[in-house]
Amino acid sequence: MDSNFIEHLQKITLTAEEGEVITVHAENREKTLKDYSLSLLGRFHTTKNINFRAAKILLRSVWKMGKDMTITEVGDGLFQFKFAMESQLKWVMNNGPWSFENHILLLRRWEKGMIAFSVSFKTIPIWVQVWELPFDLINEEAGRDIGRGIGNVIEVDCKAIAANQAKFLSVRVDMPLDKPIHRRAPILSPEGDTVWVAFQYERLLGLCFRCGLLGHDAKVCSGLRGRKGEELPYGD
């Protein structure tokens, strides 16, 4: 639904009859809420047109859930994914980010009271590799502290640390979409020593090499207009 239309509706002065409350009865309310509790809402983070039919076919194939999952378009480019089990929903959330033709699919869990035009996606969960750390800082505590400098920490990969195979730290963070990605950062050790680390992002797609945001490419970037042949700060 167009935002201008919503804004127009909010300014309308209602008649007394229009203002009368309509009650919705709750015979099947419990079942409805249970069904919706096992659903995710998703939107592709891109400025380009998407072949949604092809995207749905691909996601069904990759997720391998068959009839256990339904995909419904509930808004302008907004999808609802309904699952049969909690474990299926969590698997999709924990194994992303997912994509179609290099466009990242943003997902969030359904919450009671959501309506299509107000659903927003502000973060994306993603694994970040932290390189060039001193050996004594490759641990879970350091991973959580460093991850908080990028976004909200979801987890630190402790398996590699425990197996003594950690060449870098892997931290899963909920990264804000309205800020450029971090490329490097100074880290202050407990002893007061400063070391610079580098970040690599796993399955990162749709990055603008000019401004460092996700969802568009440098050719259409409005954040920083540069000269032809300029060096792109976030890649090439």
Give pTM, 2 decimals: 0.80
Distance between CA 123 and CA 104 in Å, rounded?
12
Which one-letter DSSP state was computed for residue 57? H
Closest CA to 155 of 180, 181, 126: 126
Q: Is the pLDDT of residue 224 over 60?
A: no
Q: Per-residue pLDDT tens for 74-95?
A: 888 899 999 999 999 999 999 9
Based on C-alpha coordinates, what's the Rg of the chain? 22
The beta strand positions in the chain, using DSSP E, are 39-44, 70-75, 78-82, 98-100, 103-109, 123-131, 152-156, 169-176, 184-188, 194-201
Q: Is 220 helix (H, G, I), strand (E, B) or coil?
A: helix
78 Cβ contact list (under 8 Å, min separation 6) = 41, 42, 43, 116, 119
Give the count of beta carbons closer than 10 Å to the beta carbon of residue 204: 17
Averaged pLDDT of the chain: 86
- Find out whether 187 and 194 touch, Cβ atoms under 8 Å: yes
Q: Is the pLDDT of residue 189 over 70?
A: yes
Q: Is the pLDDT of residue 225 over 80?
A: no
